[in-house]
Structure 1
Amino acid sequence: MSGQRVLDFDGLVNARDLGGLPAAGGRIRWGAVVRAENPAKLSATGWEGVWRHGVRTIIDLTCEHEAEPDLAPRPAGMTTIRILLDDPSDTEFWARWGGAHSGTPLYYGPYLDRFPGLVAEAVGALIRAEPGGVLVHCGGGRDRTGLIVLVLLAALGVSAADIAEDYALSHRRRAELCAAAGLDDDTARIRAFLAEQGTTESRALDEVLTGRDFSDYLRAAGLGDEGIAALRARLLDPA
């Protein structure tokens, strides 16, 4: 499969295929991973498009209180796996890194240090998913989804510049999501907050990526050498 990164599914505006991104030893395989916002608003036509794209597994990173009823039934053969990426019991962590921080990459590094097991659980679910594409989502498809996508891409050797551009694209697409829902886009507030912290999105992402070997991180978090090999086999088209 090859084609357009930004995907047009009725009911989603922040959906895109990670395929085609250059990685170490090849490129990310088209159709292997789709990132998106919550797919609950997909119409029947939208779900049909997701199915035609090859997605067979949904990895849901949202909390229970964010659950929304699906506008249209999911295809009968679609598997949904929920992984609670935000551990609400760790009040100390969220007192420091919640709020405005959690809408930016500033919390990514501390999160990776604090919750390697949860990151490995999300990546492991993708690795072990049934054959077919995997759609990873949170609420808006930017922050929690962005964290897991960053780990996936960095572990496969995608450049920091390409990871930052993929993250920035979520802001542009989220603006459309907010406009469609009659909500204010928070991009300006986020960038103002980052400026107050003396940084930008791209610099914050670069700090997360610099000095970390994400393959080693996932190995140590529980995936081991076999998990890294399985991740490469599933997501990478060799050069």
Structure 2
Amino acid sequence: MTDVLSSPELLDPVNLRDLAAVPVANGCIRESVAFRSDDVSHLSTEYADSLWNRGIRTVIDLRSPGEAAYTGRGPLAAHAIAYHHIPLVAEVAAPAAMNQALPQVTTPDHVGQWYADLLESAAPQLATGLTVLALSPGGTVFHCAAGKDRTGVFAAALLSAVGADADAIADDYARTSAELPRLHARVQMIMGGFLPFDFDADSMPSGAMMGAERTSMTVMQRTLVRRHGDVLAPLRAAGLSQELVELLRTKMLATR
């Protein structure tokens, strides 16, 4: 593993948040049950301890096999935390087709269409991840490299399952926008030459793919509704049962 810890202010996640802030119908999400995050492999020991103290007992790693092998698990592995590697894409850093198409992904609509395609193609993995979260004790943190794209799609599926509406899901996704400058710097620091492009201002790709525009998540949801009737239909076809959804809601929701 390469030592990239040259910027202590970027050591810990900059895009980690508790989904308890997201409104849902007929209740609220319990605190410290589900966290979305950027890469947790380079946590400080103190931050890892704080997540343990907040009740995190499971990590769902959505990164590709190459990414996971490159940076590993980090200090959370020192705790009795279950680790589930459920890659949403097989290629390192991003699907090969997406690498080729990246310069053309210039609008939020393009990003939303790609997200819809990703949810469809990764429906079995997403269904497995929701099953892990529903059945695991304590809190769960799920993450990719930046906590924006793959994590955003997983969060959308999870929030749809527990009753958040389309606006709330899009609002949660867009919260990442405020962290993008630090997030880009952190991903560049951690991933460096592993990525197929740089995140510096002079050379990083332009277009909506590098942002977190609310419209992208709205388009993803509308596309899936148009294709399938609702967002979760591909996951149900991949094995996500209503019984599992009820378990997920029981675990995550509290009445107001």
* Counterparts in 2 of 1:132 and 1:60: CA distance versus 1, 3 Å: same
- CA distance in structure 1 between the aligned counterparts of 2:170 and 2:63, rounded to whole angstroms: 23
Describe the shift of the 1:233–1:192 C-alpha distance in structure 2 as closer, same or farther (beyond 3 A): closer
State the aligned residue count. Answer: 223
Can you list the C-alpha shifts for 1:83-109, whole angstroms capped at 9, x where unaligned?
121144xxxx853786425x9333121
User: Which 5+ residue runs of structure 2 have no aligned equivalent?
Assistant: 1-8, 190-198
Which string of whole-angstrom CA distances, capped at 9 and with x for unpartnered residues, describes residues 196-236 of structure 1? xxxx9333322322324345544332121211111111111
Where does residue 174 of structure 1 map in the other structure? Answer: 180
Q: Which moved more, 1:57-66 or 1:109-118?
A: 109-118
Distance 1:171 1:104, change over 3 A: farther
Q: Is residue 237 from structure 1 mapped to residue 251 from structure 2 by the alignment?
A: no
User: In the alignment, which of 227, 230, 235 is matched to residue 213 of structure 1?
Assistant: 230
**Compared with structure 1, are the counterparts of its residues 10 and 22 closer, same or farther at alpha carbon in structure 2 (3 Å cutoff)?**
same
Shift of 1:70: 5.0
8 Å CA contact retained: 2:65, 2:90: no
- Which of residues 84, 97, 105 in structure 1 aligns to 2:112? 105
- Structure 2 match to 1:144: 150
CA contact (8 A) 2:156 2:169 kept: yes
Q: Which amino acid aligns with 2:121?
A: R
Query: Which residue of structure 2 lines up, in the alignment, with residue 5 of structure 1?
Result: none
- State whether structure 2 residue 84 is matched by structure 1 residue 84: no
Q: Which SS does the other structure have where 2:77 is aligned?
A: coil
SS at 2:236 equivalent: helix
1:165 corresponds to 2:171? yes
Distance 1:208 1:56, change over 3 A: same
How high is the TM-score relative to the length of structure 2? 0.74
The alpha-carbon distance between structure 1 residues 201 and 25, as it changes in their structure 2 partners (threshold 3 A), is same
Aligned to 1:60: 61
1:125 corresponding residue in structure 2: 132
Q: Distance in 2 between matches of 1:187 and 1:22?
A: 34
Indicate conservation of the 8 Å contact 2:112/2:219, yes or no: no
**Deviation digits for residues 45-67 of structure 1 (CA, Å, limit 9, x no counterpart):** 01011111111100001112112
TM-aligned CA deviation for residue 72 of structure 1: 3.5
CA contact 1:62–1:85 (8 Å) conserved in 2? yes
Amino acid at match of 2:219: E
Letter in 2 for 1:115: A
Cα deviation digits, residues 16-69 of structure 1 (max 9, x gap):
000032212211111110111111110110101111111110000111211204
Percent identity over paired residues: 29
Structure 1's consecutive aligned runs of 4 or more residues displaced over 6 angstroms after TM superposition are 185-188
Once residues 252 and 131 of structure 2 are traced to their aligned partners in structure 1, the CA distance between those partners, rounded to angstroms, is 13
Contact 2:148–2:176 (8 Å) recurs in 1 = yes
The secondary structure found in structure 2 opposite 1:19 is helix
Distance in 2, matches of 1:153 and 1:229, equals 13
Q: Is the 8 A contact 1:215 1:228 kept in 2?
A: no
Q: Determine if contact 1:105/1:143 at 8 Å carries over to the other structure.
A: no
Separation in structure 1 between the aligned mates of residue 159 and residue 204 of structure 2, nearest angstrom = 23
Is the alpha carbon distance of 1:190 and 1:235 closer, same or farther for their aligned partners in structure 2, counting shifts above 3 Å?
Answer: farther
Contact 1:20 1:29 in 2 (8 A): no
Distance change >3 Å, CA 70–CA 214, structure 1 → 2: closer
Residue equivalent to 1:3: none
